[in-house]
Structure 1
Amino acid sequence: MMERGVVLDCARKVYSSDFIFRLLDVMELTHFTHLQLHFSDNEGYRIESDVCPELVSADHFTKAEILEFQRYAKQKQITIIPELDSPGHLQHFLRVYPQFRLDESIKCAADITDPRFVAHIKSLITEVLTLFSDSPVFHLGCDEVIDWDRVAYLPSRVQTCLSATNQVDYINDLAEVVEQKGKRARIWNDGCYRKKTENRLKSSIEIAYWTRWHKEMAPVDTFLEHHHPLFNYNDNDLYFVLGEAAGYTYPSVEKLRDFTPAKFAQQQWDTTHRSKGFYFSIWGDHPEALDEDMILTKITPLLTELATK
Structure 2
Amino acid sequence: MGSLLEQNPEFALPDSNQQAVDVTNPAVIDWIMGIIDKIVDIFPDSDTFHIGADEFIDFRQIEKYPYLVEKTRGKYGNKASGLEFYYDYVNKLTEHLQKKGKQVRIWNDGFLRKDLQSLVPLNKNVEICYWTNWDKGMAEVKEWLTKGYTLINFCDNDLYYVLGEEAGYSYPTAEKLEREGKIQKFSGQQYLNQEEMKAVRGTYFSIWADNAAVKAVSEILDDLSKVLPEFMKIYGENDE
Q: Distance in 2 between matches of 1:116 and 1:228?
A: 30
The alignment's C-alpha RMSD in Å is: 1.6
Overall identity of the aligned pairs, in %: 38
1:183 is matched with which residue? 102
Task: Give the letter aligned to residue 215 of structure 1.
Answer: K
Q: Select which of 224, 227, 231 maps to 1:299.
A: 224
1:212-233 deviation line (CA, Å, top 9, x unaligned): 1111100101111121110000
Distance 1:220 1:104, change over 3 A: closer
Compute the displacement of 1:176 (Å).
Answer: 0.6
Matches within 5 A, 1:120-269: 120-154=31-65, 156-160=66-70, 163-195=82-114, 197=117, 199-257=120-178, 258-269=180-191
Task: Report the Cα offset of residue 104 of structure 1.
Answer: 5.2
The aligned amino acid for 1:300 is: S
Considering fraction of residues, name the structure with more helix: 2
Q: Cα 1:300–1:158, aligned 2, differ >3 Å: closer, same or farther?
A: same
TM-score, structure 1 length as denominator? 0.68
1:186 corresponds to which letter in structure 2?
R
Letter in 1 for 2:13: L
Q: Structure 2: how far apart are the matches of 1:141 and 1:160?
A: 25
Alignment length, in residue pairs? 219
TM-score, structure 2 normalization: 0.86
Q: Higher strand proportion, which one? A: 1
Contact 2:15 2:67 in 1 (8 A): no
Displacement of 1:148? 2.1
Larger relative contact order (Cα-Cα within 8 Å, sequence gap ≥ 6): 1
Shift of 1:299: 1.4
CA offsets 1:41-100 (integer angstroms, 9 cap, x no match): xxxxxxxxxxxxxxxxxxxxxxxxxxxxxxxxxxxxxxxxxxxxxxxxx11011111111
Gaps in structure 2 of 5+ consecutive residues: 73-81, 235-240
1:290 pairs, out of 196, 215, 221, with 215
Runs of at least 5 residues in structure 1 that lack an aligned partner in the other structure: 1-89
Distance in 2 (alpha carbons) for counterparts of 1:160 and 1:302: 49
216 and 140 in structure 1: CA distance in 2 versus 1, 3 angstrom threshold? same
Q: Is the 8 A contact 1:126 1:177 kept in 2?
A: no
1:16 equivalent in structure 2: none
Shift of residue 265, structure 1, vs aligned partner = 0.1
Q: 1:289 to 1:99 in 2, by over 3 A?
A: same
